[in-house]
Structure 1
């Protein structure tokens, strides 16, 4: 006969199995039990992301020789070649040996260093041998920079801290430069400039749209220079006479002439510009080519022409 229980006492324990919504407790105390719904959702999302990623290639090192972890040698060769973006097994093996030599530490094994480096290279996903070599360099640079930062943090000697910190800064800058180089390689040297805000003030004009002219080395070069554009110059400059000197391209210079002169500042209109007159004008040998001699010869030619009319 069932015994009634008091209201203040604990309810009797049920011997029925736990429903599927709540996981049953295990006897192993080392494994925590997930009881809340947010923890289950987080675990499901993490497992989905983990299994959705492509598995990185792994290897083992025995007596300094890189060997596959699987018994299928052709599978390991294909995985390593794909990880380094090459079709040469020799190149892939060489890069793996370089990873072992660069990443191996006294407190770790060569196998751990190699697998960590292979994960980095696989994450970069190189498309050719050039990007693969850059990925190996990036792995070594990052590992060396972290090692210097750790030594600087553990040391109490100011000189050691300064030396290790400076070296870490140089390595981190090198790593950033390597990242930029990889980005330039993948975009083919092209550069895109995005303008989000354009301010047009009274009296100014703006062009909305793609304005580009092909130039040398993939760069863009505008045919009309902005400093010569009349729309971008103030009103006094637009009303001033143009220089009209012959440029190297064979066109007329459109810069405004200096006040009181016919040319702009570039083509001789600036103050005290132009060659000096007289003996101050450079080197003299005979003096037959000076402006004064040219003027005298012109007058003599005119005089001879007048005299010839009366002969």
Structure 2
């Protein structure tokens, strides 16, 4: 079925057009806006107080300069002197040349938008104002910190664009570059904190203290004409605070039995043997030994166990005794 509607507006006869029955395009139904929850009201007041404490952003507008497609930054309000002070304070400098260089570098980082009125590309004022606000939030104290803040801004822009490309394409190499850029930004933040003296130092500080200790000893002095009896009070005090010595410990470590194993040098080991053992802890003194009975890994028939060998030895002694008694 062909459409009989006229394609040219000059072919339309107003007398034949029925406005009442002619279908009209339907408007999209607007979504109903929900009222703000009441619990957000106290939070909004606190957020407003925090926002008012933040430093005011200088703001900037790009104005065409000449017919060559060049632009210059101007104040967004009528007080150019106050705006100039804000720009200089944002970059931590009093030099107009430094401000001009930084503004040109920030404009190169930002994108461009097409203007239908002038039929030309204009710098993006939104991105430029965001970049200037980023520098102002860091509050650089001098030109060096302003340069570091500008580098951080450039790394941030690259990180966002490379990350978006990695998410859209799924390229692993692009994702790796985005991760490296993120680490670079974190390193720049650490550098800024270190320059401002807010980073914790990892250096070790060794403090040498000279302490004086006084030791009191009880001696027995022997005179030519007799022996001096020491005062028993200090000895009784030391015996009361010293823990009693267990009976199974040797009186002196030097008197403890030595290990009977040989060291790698071929000489006998000079370490103290474990209590109840013939070797030290390094030569197996702490080991409980091989498991007994069928739990042993070399168990076969049980003919060579301790019990079997003892039984055979007792039988041989009994046979020898019987042989001696025989005539």
Normalising by structure 1, we get a TM-score of 0.48
**Which structure's CA Rg is the greater one?**
2
